[in-house]
A and B are shown apart, each in its own frame.
Chain A
Amino acid sequence: MSDSIMSGAEHGPQSFWTRYVWSQDHKVIAIQYSITAIFVGLIALALSLLMRMQLGFPGSLGFMDAAAYYQAMTMHGMIMVIYLLTALFLGGFGNYLIPLMIGARDMVFPYLNMLSYWTYLLAVIVLLSSFFVPGGPTGAGWTLYPPQAILPGTPGTDWGIVLMLLSLVIFIVATTMGGLNYVTTILQARTKGMTLMRMPLTVWGIFIATIMALLAFPALFVSGVMMLCDKLLHTSFFMPSIVSMGESLGYQGGSPVLFQHLFWFFGHPEVYIVALPAFGIVSDLLSVHARKNIFGFRMMVWALVSIGVLSFVVWAHHMYVSGMNPYFGFFFAITTLVIAAPTAIKVYNWVLTLWRGDIHLRVPMLFAIGFISTFVIGGLTGLFLGNVIVDIPLSDTYFVVAHFHMVMGVSPIMVIFAAIYHWYPKVTGRMLHDGLGKIHFWVTFLGTYAIYFPMHYLGILGMPRRYFAYPNYEFIPASAQDLNAFITVAALVVGAFQLLFIFNLIYSYWRGQPAPANPWGATSLEWQTPQTPPAHGNWGEQLPQVYRWAYDYSLPGVEQDFVPQTTEQPMADQAREGDK
């Protein structure tokens, strides 16, 4: 039997088009998802730098007027949350890692998987096309609150808002197709011996996040469709009766708060749709690079599950100042504080995993530890904002901007970087440049603190967010402008150094050191493939069999400091049996 048949590679698609473009291979689709997401992410990054130029050095950009500022702000937020973070974690990492980590050949519905990517790309194209239509993209803020989102006066109310809503609906279709695939694959295609409790936490995080995405995105779908009706067909689901420029707009009696409820019923789980895959990935990375089993594995799994459930009953903590029933605030403050408990368990367990570990400060590990720091800081300010009484004065100030950028901007991005540095050798067969990676880490890590830490002070001063300029506000001291200029300089530096990362990705693809099959000495299945990068079908002739969990590091009496999941008996008597 020839080697190529052994590998299964011979039976993969042969032509360039079927292999790289209309591919049904989960690994290619993952890379397509990732490159598209990173591409739009860079656009969103550029938009944020344009905003920072206006805030740090008002008037320095000739084209930046109030309308352009709001458009940049809206597109930055929406792209980062939906089209970068959600797509990259689920479509990118989910696609690449699920089949490899559970020992499957591919997703169970490869054709649907391909369709999911192309639908996502369509959503991205529709979104980006709004830059080129009359009136430009919508400037309604990423929350798209009615009535202002579709009223004259807000930028992009003719075309921009319609394209935005349309793009979101298309994105939801794509996510649903992908999500059904990920969940079904995890439940139905695990290899022999891979029980649910032997799955690595990365797969657990993606699994729970995917179920949440399936249940939360319908809320955005419903609100998007209803808002499209309000905009295009003049229904009054959300639109109250409004007189604009002396004439009635024909709407009557609709409820903007209803939209906020629907939006945040999606919006808050969305935070965890991004966070849970990050939690899972970072757990695995800490364990691998500290050469220690993850502390409290079962607790970690149940914490993921309970965060997933609880995240559906906290949404109105985004609406303390919306005018909803005040008793709601009491309920939602309590649920918000309750969700801090499983989250804190995770943080403790990460730290305890590091405790007395054999820590290797390689680039993925630097980013993973950096994540713990940024996540704790961002999470602690969440405790302030979760309390109604503290939230009301801080609402709509830069304190909020600082909080959510630390907790769901910087933190997941740190994990994305960690994950790319960690799995790049498996994906490409080459190592990323270590020195460039370390520079990238330190500038990004320290730089994001330089950007977001001062914002907490600006917020406490009362500086409102979403303002284009701050002339003549007596309660804002002049020194706030100096701080804003400092933040802008830091943002420009951090932004520029991301190009170094992109350069590293491209340069190492051709010139990087060839990677061994398992450069980090990891136990999970994706490092045990017969080829690196894995061939079509992943496993050669025989599927792997799993005998143990993914965290057997530094077992006493075993010579090698890790025991792969495919190993039946480690080379020693004292070694523990696999099933934890």
Chain B
Amino acid sequence: MKTQVHSLEDGLSLTGKSSHWLGPQQDPLPSARTALFFFLGVLTVVFGLLSIAYRMRMSLGDWQPLSDPWQLWLNTAMLFFSSGVFELTRQRLRQVGTSAAHAPPANSHQVRSLLLLAGVLAIAFLIGQLWVWQLLMTQEYYLSANPANSFFYLITGLHGLHLLGGLVVWLYSYRKVCRTGSIEVSRINIELCCNYWHFLLLVWLLMLALLLRT
């Protein structure tokens, strides 16, 4: 009797509807990936336009570059490792997924620890960025004192906000993993977060190059 056309029996689904009822969108991962792809396109335009505005504003004469604290390099390392650990998490998760239907608890535990580490490193990056802001403030590089300062705070701020958004998803996924004891429940989120983290690392490296060169 095919009455359960709207049940959750098929497990994870972004729409909460079963695959039988949904038709082509059986696997939610391609849809989520497509949406993330376009979202990264949106962010590319945001940061691309900021860079162009930066170059245009820079050429106007009153530009005074600010000092570049060494902490920026520390933060870059944090974000780099965060992104790397996320990739490792994803690889391990895929191995867990392919090796057995029910993953050995040891492996699952390892993936969970890696997931935690990736998030903590990203949080360390954000704290480091705030530290840089504070240092610049003490050196009297105030936000409105010069357009170079304004752009620095705006770009690092917007980048940080986007990472913060990613961390909300990370926290949600991590808590879900802890609550259910299964790493599988957050598979899609981890896949997407991983791509998002790589993207934000790339954006950060480009923005860093822009900020340091001037």
Contact = CB atoms under 8 A, between A and B. Distances in A.
Contact of A5 (B5, B147, B154): B5
A543 to B, nearest CB: 4
A53 B3 CA distance: 62
A236 B15 contact: no
Chain A binding surface SS class: helix
Contact of A254 (B21, B24, B57): B57
A535 B91 CA distance: 43
A234 B144 contact: yes
Interface string A535-579: 001000101000000000000000000000000000000000000
Nearest to B144: A234
Given A222-B50, A262-B53, A265-B49, A214 B147 contact: no
Given A5-B3, A189-B23, A253 B42 contact: no
B29 to A, nearest CB: 10
Nearest to B147: A236
B73 interface: no
Interface string A386-405: 00000000000000000000
A106 interface: yes
B70 interface: no
Q: How large is the interface on B (under 10, 10 to 19, 20 to 34, 35 or more residues)?
A: 35 or more
Contacts, number: 127
A545 B147 CA distance: 58
A77 interface: no
A399 to B, nearest CB: 31
Contacts of B62: 236, 252-253
B14 A1 contact: no
Given A219-B45, A226-B154, A254 B147 contact: yes
A180 interface: yes
Contacts of A537: 5-6, 21
Contacts of B154: 225-226, 229
Contacts of A543: 23
A215 B41 contact: yes
Interface stretch (B31-39, B78-86, B198-206): B31-39
A258 B53 contact: yes
Nearest to A217: B42
Contacts of B31: 108-109, 184, 188-189
A211 B45 CA distance: 12
Contacts of A261: 56
A262 B49 contact: yes
Contacts of A218: 42-43, 45-46, 49
Given A1-B2, A184-B35, A222-B46, A253 B61 contact: yes
A104 B46 CA distance: 32
Nearest to B20: A541
7 contacts: A108-B28, A110-B15, A176-B39, A184-B31, A184-B34, A237-B57, A253-B60
Interface of B: 1-3, 5-6, 14-15, 17, 21-25, 28, 30-31, 34-35, 38-39, 41-43, 45-46, 49-50, 53, 56-57, 60-62, 143-144, 147, 150, 154, 158
